[in-house]
């Protein structure tokens, strides 16, 4: 068998629509046999928090305030026309209505397909987050050099 | 050896082949999966990606329903 193809995605955005792109590409690639690595950093870390809603996750006062404002996967905003959080609800409704997998279903599929989730050490430090704040599927906490090594020889996307 | 059925006629990219792959992962070697899908993108993608990953595509047949096909894959 030829060497396995590889796709590595840097999930920087914590927006509903961009995370949908991350998980659509990731699951699609994993389903056709790619090794898929997703490196979550900054706002992207919201997607892998254990707490799906708004919650004071994080160590210290400011990270806790951030945690409440940012929330988890269930409270991510859309990148345009968010209308104070109404748009993600409309999108979820439209996706279900049109039989397009909503974000949560894509994340579930990503777990089942064995996609590798990694968290950015530096962003976690800034936001006062620890590995235990994330879902257990998060394989490791990495820095830039480890990610570069991991993504070597494959395609890399920044979303 | 058992035969399983999967209907992805209501699904869209990437869930058509994502669901197929997840289902194939659950199967034992020698088991057969019959995937009901629509013509166009799913019909092109599902058999091709199954073959590429070393599964045996036994048949691709049109059903009586307009535009619906049945792909039989052996693990």
Domain of A42, CATH number, reads 3.40.1260.10
Residues 6+ apart with CB under 8 A from A48: A40, A73, A117, A119, A134, A135, A137, A138
Q: Which among A5, A7, A20, A32 is the top mutation candidate for probing chain B, defined by the most B β-carbons within 10 Å of its own β-carbon?
A: A32
Residue in B with minimal Cα distance to A111:
B22
Report if residue A79 sits inside a domain: yes
The answer to the question of residue A70 being in a domain is yes
CA B31/CA A70 separation, integer angstroms: 45
pLDDT digits (tens, 9 = 90+) for A16-56: 999 999 999 999 999 999 999 999 999 999 999 998 888 88
Range of the domain at B57: 3-74
Range of the domain at A148: 6-158
CB < 8 Å to A109, chain B: 15, 18-19, 22
CB-based contact B13 A24, cutoff 8 Å: yes
Whether A112 sits inside 8 A of B49 (CB atoms) is: no
What backbone phi and psi angles, to 5 degrees, belong to A15? -90, 145
**In this structure, is residue A1 part of a structural domain?**
no
pTM of the model: 0.91
Structurally, chain A folds into a number of domains equal to 1
Q: How many domains does the structure of chain B reveal?
A: 1
Tell me whether residue A43 is in a domain: yes
Dist. CA B25–CA A36, nearest whole Å = 16
Which residue in chain B is spatially nearest to A30 when comparing CA positions?
B18
Whole-number Å distance between alpha carbons of B58 and A101: 28
Contact A73/A66 with Cβ under 8 angstroms?
no
ipTM of the complex: 0.86
Structure confidence by residue, pLDDT tens digits, A97-115: 998 998 999 999 999 999 9
Task: Name A59's Cβ contacts closer than 8 Å, sequence gap at least 6.
Answer: A128, A129, A130
> Residue B41: which CATH number?
3.30.110.40
Residues 6 or more apart whose Cβ sits within 8 Å of residue B70: B34, B35, B36, B59, B60, B61, B62, B63
Taking the CA of residue A148 and the nearest CA in chain B, the distance in Å comes to 27
Any domain includes A53: yes
User: Catalytic positions of B, please?
Assistant: 13
Tell me the pLDDT band of B67, cut-offs 50, 70 and 90: very high
């Amino acid at each position: 068998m030829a060497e396995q193809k590889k796709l590595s995605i840097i999930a920087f955005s914590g927006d509903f629509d961009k995370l949908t792109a991350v998980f659509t590409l990731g699951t699609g690639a994993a389903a056709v046999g790619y090794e898929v690595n997703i490196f979550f950093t900054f706002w992207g870390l919201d997607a892998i928090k254990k707490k799906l809603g708004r919650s004071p996750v994080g160590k210290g006062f400011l990270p806790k305030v951030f945690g409440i404002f940012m929330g988890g996967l269930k409270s991510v905003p859309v990148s345009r026309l968010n209308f104070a959080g109404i748009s993600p609800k409309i999108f979820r409704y439209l996706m279900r209505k049109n039989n397009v997998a909503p974000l949560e279903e894509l994340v579930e599929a990503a777990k089942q397909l064995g996609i590798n989730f990694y968290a950015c050490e530096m962003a976690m430090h800034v936001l006062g987050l620890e590995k235990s704040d994330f879902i257990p599927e998060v394989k490791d906490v990495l820095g830039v050099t480890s990610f570069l090594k991991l993504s070597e020889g494959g395609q890399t996307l920044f979303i | 050896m058992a035969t399983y059925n999967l209907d992805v006629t209501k699904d869209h990219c990437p869930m058509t082949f994502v669901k197929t792959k997840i289902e194939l992962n659950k199967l034992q070697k020698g088991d057969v999966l019959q995937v009901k899908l629509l013509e166009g993108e799913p019909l092109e993608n599902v058999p091709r990606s199954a073959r590429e990953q070393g599964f045996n595509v036994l048949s691709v047949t049109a059903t009586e329903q307009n535009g619906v096909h049945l792909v039989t894959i052996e693990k």
